[in-house]
Amino acid sequence: MILNQFKLEGRVALVTGSGRGLGQATAVALAEAGADVALLDLSAPSETAAQIEALGRRCLTIACDLGQASPADLSGVVDQVVTGLGRIDILINNAGIIRRQAAVEFSQANWDDVLAINLDAVFWLSQAAGRIMLAQGSGKIVNICSMLSFQGGVIVPSYAATKHAVAGVTKALANEWAGRGVNVNAIAPGYMATDNTAPLRADSGRSESISERIPAGRWGTPADVAGPMVFLCSAAADYVHGAILTVDGGWLNR
């Protein structure tokens, strides 16, 4: 039965930035598909954990500041998952921040802070999880890209730089690991109603102009990412490598 290919029973996933928004929706969706889930955020995401445990799945919470974590720290995070839940089969690099400032005034902090979380942590967590996945001959890594993996955006140079880079890292790791049983892919959400886009949605003129360009006629929600995420983490996507799946209501088509 084809639906069995989408089930995640016996799998263990690590989801970063899982306290709210896309990360929370992803973590719950993976649990609904049968996975046990480790949740990483700045503080223990108790609300997400409660939803997962209500589904009868095991849950491990890890408090970690990805902006300050070293490669050794992030390797330790993966070790915590393996120790606490027995293995790691799925890594979702969801955590990210955005800083808005004109390029000619952009501060070093606004550059460094965004790169640390959006790019450095993505690579080092992928490396640490990848070592285990390669040894076991299987694993799924899904990174979060953006419309700004394809476009330049306005007053967000560090964010655009990281999202272009994450697309490149996704393809680079896929090239190295596809033949060894590890799938590395990405999802590029369109304009989603999350905390990161709150300033845009608060600007009635900008919000309206964005909505008018989206063929689907609305902003996305975290739930819109859940199905594509389960697909990329499942056996149904075993022959999908280095893909950047846009979940954007058709934004890039315009």
Residues marked active site are found at: 159
Question: E strands within the chain?
Answer: 12-16, 36-41, 59-63, 90-93, 139-144, 182-189, 244-247
Q: Supply the angle between the helices 108-115 and 157-177 in degrees, to the nearest 10.
A: 30
Contact 108, 30 (CB under 8 A): no
Q: What is the 3-state secondary structure of 99-168? A: CCCCHHHCCHHHHHHHHHHHHHHHHHHHHHHHHHHHHHCCEEEEEECCHHHCCCCCCCHHHHHHHHHHHH
Pairwise CA distance, residues 93 & 246, whole Å: 16
Two tokens, residue 59: 């849950």
Pairwise CA distance, residues 79 & 87, whole Å: 9
Contact 189, 159 (CB under 8 A): no
